[in-house]
Amino acid sequence: MTETTSPRRAVPLWIQITVWAFLVGLLAIVAMGLSRAQQGTVQPGQRIDDFTLTFYSGYEWDGRSEIKLSDLRGKIVVINFWASWCKPCEQEAAELQQAWTEYEPTGEVVFLGIDYVDTETDARVYLKKFGITFPNGPDLATKISQYFRIKGVPETYFVDKDGVLRYVQVGPFVSIEQIRAQIDPLLK
């Protein structure tokens, strides 16, 4: 008795490897996305990489239309992410402006307002409405917010004179004391 068996055609090796390579690549992308999502914002103690902020006309710093973070080495930098469509941002707008008025004359503190995914027209209305005078500019192509991995607006980052992040405020400040509590120790 003889049994006839039809030979099974094996899938070529290169196809198998290609399929596996695509699957592994896809899993790697998903893993990277998940890991990034769980990472949270940049953490205190981390040195902040250099970035460039282009200011809105009328909201320049020291007459300059754009600035690099590294240009502000030796100063405390308060980086505030906001947007005109953000209601919680309105809660802290007055406190931030008051703090800027207090610290600007010292020349040791610089506030940078970074306008997150906003239209310039609405941003200007917002700035005027709350009488904000500290340097402000758009987050072009969301590069800065992506670097800081912000979770929303408002978020405020306090960078010391050496360019190291010292504190992250997620959500609005409820009083000016909260802002002073972060800046004053860095001034000493």
Partner 1 sequence: MLRIGELRLETEERRNELKMKRKILTTPQKITGHRLFLVILFASLLALALFSVVSAQGTTPTDDEVNRIAKKLYCPVCENVPLDVCPTEACRQWREQIREMLSEGRTEEEIIDYFAVTYGERAAGDPRDKVKAYLIPVVAILLGTAMLVRALQMWKKPKAAEAVTPAREAKPIVPRDEYVTRIEEELKKRS
Binding site for partner 1 (CB under 8 A): 1-3, 5, 13-14, 17-18, 21-22, 25, 83-85, 116-119, 121-122, 138, 140-143, 146
Nearest CB to partner 1, comparing residues 122 and 162: 122
Minimum separation from the CB atom of position 73 to partner 1 (A): 28
Minimum separation from the CB atom of position 116 to partner 1 (A): 8
Strands 109-115 and 76-82: parallel
Nearest CB to partner 1, comparing residues 25 and 185: 25
Nearest CB to partner 1, comparing residues 164 and 170: 170
Q: Which residues contact 52 (CB under 8 A, 6 or more apart)?
A: 66, 67, 68
Asked whether 162 and 175 are in contact (CB, 8 A), the reply is no
Q: How far is CA 56 from the centre of its chain?
A: 18
Query: 78 is written with which tokens?
Result: 């308060």
Nearest Cα to 138, choosing from 156, 155, 159, 123?
A: 123
Minimum separation from the CB atom of position 21 to partner 1 (A): 5
Nearest CB to partner 1, comparing residues 89 and 110: 89
Phi-psi region of 171 (alpha: psi -120 to 50; beta: other; left: phi over 0): left
Minimum separation from the CB atom of position 91 to partner 1 (A): 15
